[in-house]
Structure 1
């Protein structure tokens, strides 16, 4: 065996046994590690805390003086634009965009006609206000938030989480009521809103308001992600809270100080101590009257059971010894048994066994689960013989074991060397059992725990003075409207993620969120009413050389300055909803348990066909209520969701992948759900348009694409249908498979 060690004088060959590490190698490793540790220590001090995202939010002055009717968002973007923005989108395109964006549902033909007929200056504003006040808006944005909060109906063990849908229902209701964002987060951490927690009265007594009914379901947030192990639950809570609400990744600090961000290992475990231990327990969620009635019923049950149990014992008494003897007969012959009986009634042998040996088996003689008639002693002797034969065979092989011991020793030596290097660079690493106090990162100094540690943490987390809380929130809202946030990493505002493209706009929106009382609806309204949001998207066809749009593409190919509205593919749930809404099969009822795609939620159980009508067709719930979960095979999440990149809830999902793949096209072409919806849409067209094919074509385009067909589309559609009117189902299927159908313009 030969080894080569490298030092300053070049390679040195060493023969024989494993050599000791050379001093040059150790010094080099210690120096490199020391450099990393110095950087880690540096980022946790003043230099690390000077990073832009950790600075207080300052409300910048809106450029351009008096706003008038201008949206501040447009003012901030116009300063750095440097490109020629596209004109506003046409009215029907804008209507479809804002409907899909705010509710996940396309506008109905009636809503299209109403909007086109309203020529008032605030027609679009009225549409926005109506959609923001709609429960379906809450359903859609609950789906966004639950992606980040890692909602799932089952975990990696395929274990169902009973009642977890009540947490989803709470999130939907909170968004529908426009619950302030700080309260939205506080309730999910503490189960109470800040104005309902314990307060000190003028007399020195603590007063506490009762929590609102249903707020306890918000604690489903803390129960997700790690089964029932208290330590894993606590660590999962720390990781999710820090990335979701603070935009910081702290998981690295489990093992060492964060290499790039000001989060030390002590910070991490101080934060974990806030939730340690986090124990799940079953709760009876019932009114006092229900509990009283249940108690009375239980007492009556016990009263009726008592005489039955006494009668059972009387009947069993004569045969107890026989049951016991049968069980003992099944034991091997070299196992001696001591019957549990009074000491004075034991034999000498029984007493010796009780004094000198420990029990290996206890038998309950009061009941018997099953009777075995097979001679177990014979089986036991056969098993022992086979074990003895195997033992002798192993001994005869006389296999060398020395190489194994050498390999184990080498691993141990390497571990000792690594420990030496680590402790030389940072002696504190050799210390163990260093207790930490509950606390949180980015804070140096005393902490007030008078209200309870989790409550105090929730207050700090959601404070207007927290530089991260509002910034991270408005960046998420911006991302959900434009596909990408002002800061490109929605859950990482640390050193490695860089800086935002529009830092002043991000800070203005963060300060506006605080100024509005943490109203998420206010920020939504600001964004979708901006001229930036209402821009047209890409032009059809190739870009003409020398055109303004070609120059824009050359100057800003990634559309970082938002000179056009980005075209985005619909999320999985929105594709599902759009298919069934156009067919008249969508059930928009809010709340309730999750469903499997194969389940039906309507009153009718008829099988849809070309002859069915929307009045008798089976309804489908919104995709937000479709069950999802995770396992090694990912079988818990339905194919419809997985094909279109829906997440399974294993980890927080700050941004969904938006792929456009061949399997997606094949899925829409061959999915039984799409075929079923196409049949239902054809039946709807026959019901509403009769034999008027021109009207049927116009209605189909309005239902599926939210616009009338252009002349060429109408001509080709009529030619196709006039040859065979029974093709209406295939025509509907074709519209569902258009690229335009699954994209937001």
Structure 2
């Protein structure tokens, strides 16, 4: 049932669940009113369940033997090349430097390279030029602004509660800023998780650690609902589902009402996991919740019959999920439950935590994870295409003190990351490409680099960056730029108070005010998620509205005007202007045919602004090869 409901917003889920609870079970049962832990009926975890690949211990594999011994750049390449050779495929040729710097800058900072960056890298004859570029981008403050959004998608972050009134959470932005800062300073991933689950219990982390617990409460909430018991039930269930899918890669939410149909997760497992958070929330009518705390007078956790908040079943104590846990490993009764959960999740013997995160990082770089179902490592999810590589990187992450930057450096330094993603126009390399495309159309074995469209935030930030109008200021409450006039007419008074400073309107997209019931139109057009639930992988649609937005929106028109002004101010010569545009937008110089076409376009009566707008609308700007 919950698997089906997961596609709907929480408002619809509450209504459907309430109808099912009363229709299928009849009258609501009385509260059992007991606090004793009673036995629940649930199937035992079988050897077949435990033998699923995701629950096996992470063991560092030996590097596989390969024939092309000169091709691998890192250990990653040995695993990729071994599979390619098994499939009788060769890796694509290495991409040129202009392609590499563009790919790397978009991937690590979410911004295009500057002309100066391109020229310095392309002309740098010294050994290690690529490694130095990687290190400089990982050290840039723009890195955290870009990669922070990836985590905020998972954290279902927004600046408002959602539902009918969509009340503003005045301090929500502090969690967003904490995420950006934590990623920029390479906070170890185990600490990054531990603080988000139990930072208020860690005195070494100070106020930042407490702020991090907003992860658990970043989802939608209904502070004005009549029943605080119902609100508490929905909120705790949402936290439990999020922790299960985001951190452990298992669809725990499917077990809110009944045992999971496919995975070895019982309904009792769900509520035992929920019990870790039961003492962490205190609700008040019409008040949003922000961070976790520990309270001694919280109600006891019960299994809720058919997921109905009014039907308490057996009382349950906090316990780790049985399918992932050794039978004799249980939380102690005299310690903080959430603290122990955080320790158990980040323990190196846990087979899921590192695997799930490594897979998410790989997905961000290659478009698809080694496991194509990033939040479902269960039996209905996909198996890894390169299981040994997944375990090698998971082990490497933990050996490297859970450093996210070291993991990413290893990935982008690899040969598989540096291969070409464009089909050659002629020659023997074109034959290779065609053979690879025929043998591996989905690019599962990564013989070539996958082309990917920029996401909504990167497109907007890129337009501002190339036109010289991007504001790099960091931190603070969300910014509200102007909205289209036709949209403003439909809004309630005060629903979108425009930020007075126009300069703030040009800040990076991660700082745009995130209202659940009113996504910033440009982001909504380009598939930004609604923040109603964790988003592990964004949809990528292709619509007429996107084309019209890119062609006619105020953002595009003004960016084109500023870009034209910047290019014409530098040099009045048409050929120089065209060359400058190609360097700014595509990180390369134009070919003779491209110069001829652009010159003819301008000679036919079009303005330089029109040429800028046409080039900004091209696939070469909107896609990364």
Residue 449 to residue 56, structure 1, CA distance change in 2 (3 Å): farther
Q: Offset of 1:723 from its aligned partner? A: 5.4
Q: Which deviates more, 80-89 or 587-596?
A: 587-596
Larger radius of gyration: 1
Contact 1:43–1:261 (CA<8 Å) still a contact in 2? no
Q: Which residue of 1 aligns with 2:384?
A: 500
Would the aligned equivalents of 2:73 and 2:413 in 1 still touch at CA under 8 Å? no
* Residue 48 (str. 1) matches residue 49 (str. 2): yes
Q: Counterparts of 1:172 and 1:470 in 2: how far apart (Å)?
A: 21
Which residue is 1:674 aligned to? 556
Are positions 1:224 and 2:108 aligned together? no
Aligned equivalents of 1:432, 1:586: Cα separation in 2: 54
1:727 paired to 2:594? no
Aligned equivalents of 2:448 and 2:400: distance in 1?
Answer: 28
Corresponding position of 2:92: 86
Superposed CA deviations along residues 165-218 of structure 1, whole A, max 9, x for unmatched, are 1100000000011000010011111125xxx84xxxxxxxxxxx4533433221
Specify whether residues 602 and 701 from structure 1 end up closer, same or farther in structure 2 by C-alpha distance, changes over 3 A only.
farther
How far the C-alpha of 1:450 sits from its partner, in A, is: 3.6
Equivalent residue in structure 2 for 1:235, among 223, 237, 246: 237
Quick one: distance in 2 between partners of 1:284 and 1:144? 23
What are the equivalent positions in structure 2 for 1:316-715 lying under 5 Å apart? Answer: 433-442=313-322, 443=325, 444-445=327-328, 446-539=330-423, 547-598=431-482, 620-631=506-517, 636-689=518-571, 691-715=572-596
Cα distance in structure 1, aligned partners of 2:419 and 2:500: 40
In the alignment, structure 1 segments of 5+ residues that lack a partner are 1-39, 198-208, 286-422, 424-430, 606-616
**Deviations 1:437-456, CA, capped at 9 Å, x for gaps:** 11121333332244300000
Q: Deviations over 1:689-710 (max 9, x none)?
A: 2x22221111111112222111
State the distance in 2 between where 1:541 and 1:680 align. Answer: 34
SS in 2 for 1:586: coil
Change in 2 beyond 3 A, CA 1:618/1:140? closer
Can you list the C-alpha shifts for 1:669-703, whole angstroms capped at 9, x where unaligned? 111110011111111112222x2222111111111
Tell me the CA shift for residue 667 of structure 1: 1.1
Q: Counterpart of 1:73?
A: 76
SS at match of 1:596: coil
Q: 1:432 to 1:601 in 2, by over 3 A?
A: closer
Mapped contact 2:169–2:288 kept (Cα < 8 A): no
Once residues 43 and 87 of structure 1 are traced to their aligned partners in structure 2, the CA distance between those partners, rounded to angstroms, is: 52
Name the CA shift for 1:654/1:432 in 2 (closer, same or farther; >3 Å): closer
- Looking at structure 1, the residues matched to 111 and 188 of structure 2 have their Cα atoms a distance apart, in angstroms, of 25
Counterparts of 1:51 and 1:668 in 2: how far apart (Å)? Answer: 46
Q: What whole-Å deviation, never above 9, does each CA across 1:690-739 have from its counterpart, x for those lacking one?
A: x2222111111111222211111112222333455x71111111111111
For the 8 Å contact 1:74–1:532, the answer to whether it is kept is yes
Tell me, yes or no, if the aligned pair for 2:81 and 2:91 is still in contact at 8 Å.
no
Alpha-carbon deviation of 1:159? 1.7
What residue in structure 1 maps to residue 186 of structure 2? 178
Q: Counterparts of 2:410 and 2:360 in 1: how far apart (Å)?
A: 14
Q: 8 Å contact 1:109–1:706 — kept in the other structure? A: yes
Give the C-alpha shift of residue 280 in structure 1: 5.1
Query: Is the alpha carbon distance of 1:80 and 1:156 closer, same or farther for their aligned partners in structure 2, counting shifts above 3 Å?
Result: same
- RMSD of equivalent CA atoms: 2.8
Measured in 2, the distance between the counterparts of 1:116 and 1:667 equals: 34
CA 1:435/1:256 → structure 2, altered by over 3 Å: closer, same or farther? Answer: same
Q: Which residue of 2 aligns with 1:34?
A: none
Alpha carbons 2:283, 2:289 under 8 Å: kept: no
How many Å separate the matches in 1 of 2:504 and 2:457?
18
Give 1:434 shift: 1.3
Output one character per residue of 1:4-53: Cα deviation in whole Å (capped at 9) or x when no partner.
Answer: xxxxxxxxxxxxxxxxxxxxxxxxxxxxxxxxxxxx96673332122110
Task: Report the CA distance between 1:661 and its aligned residue.
Answer: 2.6
SS across alignment from 2:418: coil
Do the aligned residues in 2 keep the contact of 1:230 with 1:276 (CA within 8 Å)? no
- Distance, in Å, in 1 between the alignment partners of 2:433 and 2:289 is 62
**Counterpart position of 1:10:** none
Pair 1:450–1:513, CA change in 2 (3 A)? farther
* Paired residues of 1:102 and 1:140 also in contact (CA < 8 A): yes
Which whole-Å CA distance do the structure 2 matches of 1:53 and 1:744 have between them? 32
CA positional deviation for 1:494: 0.2
Q: Is the 8 A contact 1:587 1:622 kept in 2?
A: yes
Q: Give the equivalent residue in structure 2 for 1:189.
A: 197
Partner-residue secondary structure (3-state), 2:62 = coil
* TM-score, scaled to structure 1: 0.68
Q: Contact 1:601–1:620 at 8 Å: present in 2 too? A: no
After superposition, what is the alpha-carbon deviation per residue over 1:556-584, rounded to whole angstroms, capped at 9, x for unaligned? 11110000000000000000011111110
- The match for 2:249 is 247
Please report how far the alpha carbon of residue 543 of structure 1 lies from its aligned counterpart in structure 2 after TM superposition. 11
Q: For residues 42 and 555 of structure 1, do their structure 2 counterparts lie closer, same or farther at Cα, with a shift above 3 Å needed?
A: farther
Change (3 A) 1:84 1:110: same
Which residue number in structure 2 is paired with residue 167 of structure 1?
Answer: 175
Identify the residue that residue 297 of structure 1 maps to in structure 2: none
Assess if the C-alpha contact under 8 Å between 2:148 and 2:180 holds in 1. yes
DSSP 3-state at the match of 2:93: coil
Relative to structure 1, the CA distance from residue 675 to residue 99 in structure 2 (aligned partners, 3 Å threshold; closer, same or farther) is: same
After the TM superposition, which residues 84-123 of structure 1 pair with which residues of structure 2 at under 5 Å, given as runs?
A: 84-123=90-129
Task: Give 1:58's aligned residue.
Answer: 59
